A and B are shown apart, each in its own frame.
Chain A
Amino acid sequence: MAETAVVPTRRRSWAGWRFIGPFMAVFALVFLAPIGYSIYLSLFKNRLIGGNSFVGLDNYRQALHDPNFWSALGRVSLFLVVQVPIMLFLALLVALAIDSGRLYGKSFFRVTVFLPYAVPAVVATLMWGFMYGSQFGLIGSINDSLGTAIPDPLQPSWILAAIGNIVTWEFVGYNMLIFYSALRTVPGSLYESAEIDGAGELRIIRSIKLPAIRGALVIATIFSIIGSFQLFNEPAILQNLAPNAITTYFTPNYYAYSLSFAGQQYNYSATVAIIMGVITMVIAYVVQLRGTKER
């Protein structure tokens, strides 16, 4: 990325700020100021007696001893290590299949698998929630007519898998397209020489295609990590259908939301949000370092 940044012939001047200035001004208002305010909030506590007072890192200490916070973090971490690999692997398989040129009607595949990405998360969750649900759900209908015993996806032990399925459905096509776009940049001559050398399809995938889309894999992984840690919409919407399975601290984001808008604990909520922001940044950074190191 940095290579586009500096062209030596160009004069260094303030002129560029006239173009980036408006973006940065709004950015400062809606990103930087709230982050700063969040950090400020996290250092204070609002008590009934004594009012607003500076407490240093007390809120952070409280969060690190908060079983609800750890439970939420554990849940999204489990989600991350199970759902993300499944989704990315599926996306990769479809991208490789479409790129192989062996499919009938490949543009049909590309478009239809991508379509769910255009469906808002709320609508996707409502749809899947209805299909999962006991009222007029598909699962019930299928169990009735086929005599199968698929468990209720909205019970506490299955709810995370149910959410994983919704998220996979929404994003498999998006990731597929990222991989597919990267695959198309591989020069055709590479394949030709590989074929002349007698390399089979699997060998080509392993030695040419996968290394070629490494950057895309890293980007998709980072986006998925951020997405998993910020999980909110799906559990928030399903909460109505599965009130017993989804607690107020189901995910860190949901916990922060409940803390401020149900509990009015703005200071503690900001603390939880900041801790999650730092964890997300650190993990995304490590993935990027590891992913780009062995080029």
Chain B
Amino acid sequence: MVTTVRAPRRTPVRTPSRRRRDRPRGRKSVALTALTSLVVLYSLVPLAWLVINATKTQEGLFTSFGLWFDDGRFALWENLRTTVTYDDGIFLRWLGNTLLYVVAGAGGATLLAVLGGYGLAKFDFPGKRAVFAVVIGAVAVPGTALAVPTFLMFSKLGLTNTPWAVIIPSLICPFGLYLMWTYAAEAIPDELLEAARVDGAGEFRTFFRICVPLLAPGIVTTLLFSMVVTWNNYFLPLIMLKDPDWYPLILGLNAWNDQATTAGGQAVFNLVITGALLTILPLLAVFLLLQRYWQSGLAAGSVKQ
């Protein structure tokens, strides 16, 4: 049933790329390629720096040229080992925490955004305009305006210094809601819903059996974006968590970096750098593997307006 009704896509705006892919317009230009390469260089040099310096010892960092390897030693494996074993393997604990926050936070955020976006796109209900205005307006409020009162509220509820303090605020991803709204509006034909209603299927049954498969690409995109937001979140855990055992990776790395300036602390820059590399690798991998999705996500965000 699904395949037969799927055919009439109402708005062709979403897929213009297919009609206009790389028309041979103009010749390739070496000069333009070279100029644009400068920007690529700018983007890649810090990443190259990170990879190169992850192979150096703490002393090697100070004695060798930043953008080349240390002649004396190649310490990448040693750094990796020390990073995951330092301080009783706290790095792995932080990694586990991060995964927990990402799975629970981003997973939950995606679920709420998919349900909400679908509701906004396919139903007309009292208060719909207000929902839209409130969500858009709230996005402009600075993080601290929320963070301080959220912290005070959570500490009264006894939630600070627990994983809940990080997970609950992560459940809201306004961009994800917007993305799913625009996506659901186009991917699910009204006729299909009408047909399902005539057949007597309940709203939730219709949603899970018929709509979710149609929404799959949008769901992956939303999941991807909320994952990145949660993985990279610094401010929220910074104020909510005191106990290093609950730190996510980002906060842990910064704590290691601060060790050098605290009295009696041991400078472990080699671990900060190797840890940073380990922190960004999963994200870079996900982005490279799921290119199609984040591009369509950004396209949805920019085209509709």
Chain A residues within CB distance 8 Å of chain B:
1, 4-7, 9-24, 26-27, 29-35, 37-38, 41, 90, 94, 97-98, 100-105, 108-109, 111-116, 118-124, 126-128, 130-131, 135-138, 141, 145, 169, 172-174, 177-179, 181-182, 184-188, 191, 195, 201, 213, 215-216, 218-220, 226, 229-230, 232-233, 237, 240, 252-253, 256-257, 260-261, 266, 269-270, 272-274, 276-277, 280-281, 284, 292
Chain B contacts of A181 at CB under 8 A? 295, 298-299, 302-303
Q: A98–B27 Cα gap in the complex (Å)? A: 13
Q: A222–B299 Cα gap in the complex (Å)? A: 17
Chain B contacts of A37 at CB under 8 A? 149, 152-153
User: What total of chain B residues lie within 8 Å of the partner, measured CB to CB?
Assistant: 116
Contact, CB under 8 Å: B119 / A17: yes
**B139 interface neighbour in A41, A220, A226, Cβ under 8 Å:** A226
| Nearest chain A CB to B214 CB, angstrom units | 15
Query: Whose C-beta in chain B lies nearest to the C-beta of A181?
Result: B299
Contact, CB under 8 Å: A177 / B66: no
Contact, CB under 8 Å: B43 / A123: no
Contact A169:B138 (CB < 8 A) given known A23-B116, A30-B171: no
- Select the residue from B23, B65, B276, B298 with max chain A CB neighbours within 10 A: B298
Chain B contacts of A261 at CB under 8 A? 239
Contact, CB under 8 Å: B302 / A32: no
- Select the residue from A116, A118, A276 with max chain B CB neighbours within 10 A: A118
| Nearest chain B CB to A226 CB, angstrom units | 6
| Nearest chain A CB to B31 CB, angstrom units | 9
Q: A72–B302 Cα gap in the complex (Å)? A: 31
- Choose, from B79-87, B89-97, B128-136, the stretch at the interface: B128-136
Contact A35:B61 (CB < 8 A) given known A4-B182, A12-B126, A127-B50: no
Q: A119–B35 Cα gap in the complex (Å)? A: 24
| Nearest chain B CB to A66 CB, angstrom units | 16
Contact, CB under 8 Å: A41 / B20: no
- Select the residue from A11, A136, A177 with max chain B CB neighbours within 10 A: A136
Contact, CB under 8 Å: B123 / A19: yes
Chain B residues within CB distance 8 Å of chain A:
13, 16-17, 19-20, 22-30, 32-33, 35-37, 39-40, 42-44, 46-47, 49-50, 53, 61-62, 65-67, 112-113, 115-116, 118-129, 131-132, 134-135, 137-153, 168-169, 171-172, 177, 181-182, 185, 190, 203-204, 207, 228, 231-232, 234-235, 239, 250, 253-254, 257-258, 261, 269, 272-273, 276, 279-280, 283-284, 286-288, 291, 294-295, 298-299, 301-305
- Select the residue from B27, B141, B151, B295 with max chain A CB neighbours within 10 A: B141
Contact A30:B112 (CB < 8 A) given known A9-B190, A12-B124, A120-B250: no
Contact, CB under 8 Å: A232 / B26: no
| Nearest chain A CB to B125 CB, angstrom units | 3
Contact, CB under 8 Å: A19 / B115: yes
**B253 interface neighbour in A35, A122, A257, A269, Cβ under 8 Å:** A122
Query: Whose C-beta in chain B lies nearest to the C-beta of A108?
Result: B40
Contact, CB under 8 Å: B25 / A101: yes
Chain A contacts of B253 at CB under 8 A? 122-123, 126
Contact A34:B146 (CB < 8 A) given known A19-B119, A123-B279: yes
Contact, CB under 8 Å: B144 / A26: no
**A219 interface neighbour in B44, B152, B302, Cβ under 8 Å:** B302
| Nearest chain B CB to A46 CB, angstrom units | 12
Contact, CB under 8 Å: B25 / A116: no
Contact, CB under 8 Å: B280 / A185: no
Query: Whose C-beta in chain A lies nearest to the C-beta of B30?
Result: A104
Contact, CB under 8 Å: B66 / A120: no
Can you give 30 contacting A-B residue pairs, CB < 8 Å?
A12-B124, A12-B125, A17-B119, A18-B203, A19-B116, A34-B146, A35-B146, A41-B148, A102-B26, A103-B28, A118-B228, A119-B283, A122-B250, A122-B253, A123-B276, A130-B53, A130-B273, A136-B66, A138-B49, A145-B65, A173-B43, A177-B298, A181-B299, A216-B303, A233-B234, A256-B145, A256-B148, A257-B148, A281-B141, A292-B305
